[in-house]
Amino acid sequence: MHQALTTCPYCGVGCGVQAEVDGERIIGVSGDSTHPANFGRLCVKGSALHETLGEHGRLTRPRVDGVEVDWDTALDAVADGLQATRRDHGNHAVAAYLSGQLLTEDYYVANKLFKGFLGTPHLDTNSRLCMASAVAAYKRAFGADAVPCNYEDLEEAELVVLVGSNLAWNHPVLYQRIKAAKQINPLMRVVVIDPRVTDSCEIADLYLGLAPGSDARLFNGLLAWMDDRSKLDRVYLDNHTQGMEEALAAAREDDTSLEAIAADCDLDPERLETFFYWFASHLHVVTLYSQGVNQSSSGTDKCNAIINCHLAGGKIGLPGAGPFSITGQPNAMGGREVGGLANQLAAHMDYHTPGALERVTRFWTTESLEPTLPDAPGHKAVELFEAIERGEVQAVWIMATNPVVSLPDANRVRAALAKCPLVIVSECMADTDLLPYADIVLPASSWSEKDGTVTNSERRISRQRGLLPPPGEARHDWWIIGEVARRLGFGEAFAYGHPSEIFDEHARLSGFENALDTRLDTRLDTRGEGKRLFDISGLAGLDRDAYDALAPIQWPVTREAPSGTARLFEEGRFATPDGKARLIAVRPRGPEQVLSEARPLRLNTGRVRDQWHTMTRTGRAPRLMNHRSEPFIELHPDDGLHYGIGDKALARLEGAGGEYVGRVRISKAQRRGEVFVPMHWTGRFSGAARMGSLLAPYCDPVSGQPESKHGAVSIAPL
């Protein structure tokens, strides 16, 4: 038996895990006491990781048209299918839909194949559902998708504001860290802003149960309130930002009296003013936000309204200060690094980044191969499946995700896939809702078998180590993609024998043709074409042993910063052409999914404490089912009385694209007129409890992130 260090595959906290390996089994796990994300802590999901393993239920052989085949046959079928589609319908008729569950190396190879050599821009990821709005807002404000803070900032803050985040359930180790910091420092304050009273309120000094969707109005109001009371940091604004007057003017288009803001947000004015006063009077403030802000048709604006207040108060680039978006998935950040979003090219470069197309082309060109990169962004997640429905995309390769459950209007996604001529699915499990729609099924390796890196919410790259052999004939995703590339004639560009070689290439690309601009916390292109912040070229050239031993490290990692970078923007310089951050003029908008007589209830969706995504892994650990064992509908007592539905009764929700049946939990934590359902249950666990079927596919116009927090439904007893 031996002990090995790896990383948890669930949430964006990215905790280090110590695994007890006994032969070809992991018999126990504990927190890695040396990992800076968790210092030995694990939540209940992480501590049950070893209970979710085993060959039972795993996909172990490739299948083509429902028949088990050997790998050569399956890979030939994938290559032939993609090639035929390109020949008959053009490069843009092929697409990929990836996942924040993939390792960075898998993501990198997929992006390189689809965008670089198949010549299609249509490669997106389920991370679009998670943090695309936060990404878009960072780019607008800072000129780069760059998270300023780190986890220590949460402990060093005088005030922590949680917005749209039930940290206690969804990022439990961070919640534990804040709770412990609060015990050490009783002067530290926590504000929770959320329509639901959640377990995170246990550490709240102030709770604001705002009306769903009113976040931007609240933070615009805060901006105006700070201005009215001379609480803005004029020196910081003058020296380090642009756009304050426009942002303030937009905020003042609405009535900025405390009473009017409170009325629009459905809050008590005194509590609201307490929050405003606390925010304005502390310098060391961290505002942590998550899916409650991002999953909105105005999510990008909401994120920018938060960032505006931090910039206006100079509360950024300091210990214990800054806007801090927390990702849902373990490697949502890693996907951003390699270009896993359809609007990205590679290494945090966008299509419109000056010189990026040429730079990436030069980097990926080999002796006899030149990539054929598309010159404009591709379809974002919801658009991608609409393009499949229209027949524009004729072949799609889906890896490590289940869009027929998680995307809005999920029944329409099913119908689109049913008529798509070629659906390729890479998957670990033998029984998912997606597999019936697959023409070719490829068995992939899973946590404890996969070997590579992930990046957590504080930009920290960690190794996820391969400790066990994959079961049966399951293979690593990077290997599968590389084998298909080889069959398509691109072998020279995909000659990887080990993930360390992919990581090295990724690290080299991040610094390719850059030169350090010492005036900025950023890197400036040698030809002055633009600035980039993402650079891990200091990690290039690691051999297998050094890669295997890689300790967790925060990017940027360069020759000048070989130990990584804990905090960004400390010098007050940003990745914009003039080095100044931008305040954005935000005009608050309500949800696109409008309530009506037929659908009078506001639907909120989210996670429960002990489950992960569609439960393919956590559903295998019996003790994780004890917390919530079945799909449910949370309802306020007054609504229960109104609709004649009691606690524990079965009820049916009807939404834009389908129905959901669950057991009612009557709860005062829920606001009147609103219901909450969990996102995890699928057709496999419960025939009619897929929350995605309740949602209409409205998206944020900037980020393309779906409005998953603001459905409109009716309810009836069953």
Residue with smallest beta-carbon separation from ligand SF4: 46
Per the CB < 8 A criterion, the answer to whether 50 and 370 are in contact is no
Minimum distance from residue 348 beta carbon to ligand SF4 (Å): 23
Quote the radius of gyration of the chain (alpha carbons, Å): 24
Comparison of 26 and 583: residue with beta carbon closer to ligand SF4: 26
Per the CB < 8 A criterion, the answer to whether 540 and 508 are in contact is yes
Minimum distance from residue 655 beta carbon to ligand SF4 (Å): 29
* Member of 8, 204, 285, 399 binding ligand SF4 (CB under 6 A): 8
* Member of 5, 6, 10, 521 binding ligand SF4 (CB under 6 A): 10
Does the protein bind ligand SF4 through residue 447 (CB under 6 A)?
no
Minimum distance from residue 39 beta carbon to ligand SF4 (Å): 11
Segment interacting with ligand SF4 (CB under 6 A) among 10-18, 374-382, 535-543, 710-718: 10-18
Minimum distance from residue 46 beta carbon to ligand SF4 (Å): 2
Per the CB < 8 A criterion, the answer to whether 231 and 276 are in contact is no
Minimum distance from residue 134 beta carbon to ligand SF4 (Å): 18
Comparison of 39 and 278: residue with beta carbon closer to ligand SF4: 39
Does the protein bind ligand SF4 through residue 151 (CB under 6 A)?
no
Q: Quick one: how many helices (H) and strands (E) in the chain?
A: 23, 31
Per the CB < 8 A criterion, the answer to whether 711 and 645 are in contact is no
Minimum distance from residue 693 beta carbon to ligand SF4 (Å): 26
Minimum distance from residue 11 beta carbon to ligand SF4 (Å): 3
Comparison of 155 and 521: residue with beta carbon closer to ligand SF4: 155
DSSP 353-390: STTHHHHHHHHH--SS------SS----HHHHHHHHHH
Does the protein bind ligand SF4 through residue 11 (CB under 6 A)?
yes
Distance CA 574, CA 133 (A): 19
Minimum distance from residue 364 beta carbon to ligand SF4 (Å): 33
Minimum distance from residue 194 beta carbon to ligand SF4 (Å): 19
Comparison of 172 and 538: residue with beta carbon closer to ligand SF4: 172
Q: Say whether the peptide bond before residue 172 is cis (omega within 30 degrees of 0).
A: no
Minimum distance from residue 9 beta carbon to ligand SF4 (Å): 8
Per the CB < 8 A criterion, the answer to whether 356 and 350 are in contact is yes
Amino acid at the residue 345: L
Minimum distance from residue 120 beta carbon to ligand SF4 (Å): 33
Which two three-digit tokens encode residue 102?
A: 């993939």
- 115-148: burial string, b at 16+ Cβ within 10 Å, e else: bbbbbbbbbbbbbbbbbbbbbbbbbbbbbbbbbb
Which DSSP letter does residue 113 get?
I
| Residue list 79-98, contact with ligand SF4 (CB under 6 A) | none
Comparison of 315 and 607: residue with beta carbon closer to ligand SF4: 607
Segment interacting with ligand SF4 (CB under 6 A) among 4-12, 289-297, 649-657, 698-706: 4-12
Comparison of 129 and 540: residue with beta carbon closer to ligand SF4: 129
Which DSSP letter does residue 295 get?
S
Minimum distance from residue 16 beta carbon to ligand SF4 (Å): 9
Minimum distance from residue 219 beta carbon to ligand SF4 (Å): 27
Which two three-digit tokens encode residue 329?
A: 């998935």
Segment interacting with ligand SF4 (CB under 6 A) among 3-11, 202-210, 486-494, 620-628: 3-11
Comparison of 485 and 624: residue with beta carbon closer to ligand SF4: 624
Comparison of 500 and 611: residue with beta carbon closer to ligand SF4: 611
Comparison of 172 and 322: residue with beta carbon closer to ligand SF4: 172
| Residue list 12-51, contact with ligand SF4 (CB under 6 A) | 13-15, 38, 42-43, 45-46
For residue 648, which phi and psi values (nearest 5 degrees)? 75, 0
Per the CB < 8 A criterion, the answer to whether 171 and 12 are in contact is yes
Distance CA 256, CA 322 (A): 24
Per the CB < 8 A criterion, the answer to whether 217 and 264 are in contact is yes
Distance CA 78, CA 463 (A): 30
Comparison of 10 and 97: residue with beta carbon closer to ligand SF4: 10
Per the CB < 8 A criterion, the answer to whether 244 and 583 are in contact is yes
Does the protein bind ligand SF4 through residue 615 (CB under 6 A)?
no
Comparison of 75 and 167: residue with beta carbon closer to ligand SF4: 167
Number of residues that bind ligand SF4 (CB under 6 A): 14
Cβ-based burial of 468 (10 A; exposed 0-12, middle 13-18, buried ≥19): middle
Q: What angle do CA 278, 229, 247 make, to 5 degrees?
A: 90
Comparison of 46 and 466: residue with beta carbon closer to ligand SF4: 46
Comparison of 44 and 468: residue with beta carbon closer to ligand SF4: 44
Does the protein bind ligand SF4 through residue 292 (CB under 6 A)?
no
Comparison of 456 and 605: residue with beta carbon closer to ligand SF4: 456
End-to-end CA distance of the chain: 53
Residue (of 504, 701, 562) closest to 104 by Cα position:
504
| Residue list 152-211, contact with ligand SF4 (CB under 6 A) | 171-173
Comparison of 327 and 670: residue with beta carbon closer to ligand SF4: 327
Minimum distance from residue 294 beta carbon to ligand SF4 (Å): 18
Q: Where are the beta strands (DSSP E) in 439-579?
A: 440-443, 452-455, 460-464, 514-517, 522-525, 531-532, 553-554
Beta bridge partners of 58: 429
Minimum distance from residue 520 beta carbon to ligand SF4 (Å): 33
Three-class SS state of 152 = helix
Residues that bind ligand SF4 (CB under 6 A): 8, 10-11, 13-15, 38, 42-43, 45-46, 171-173
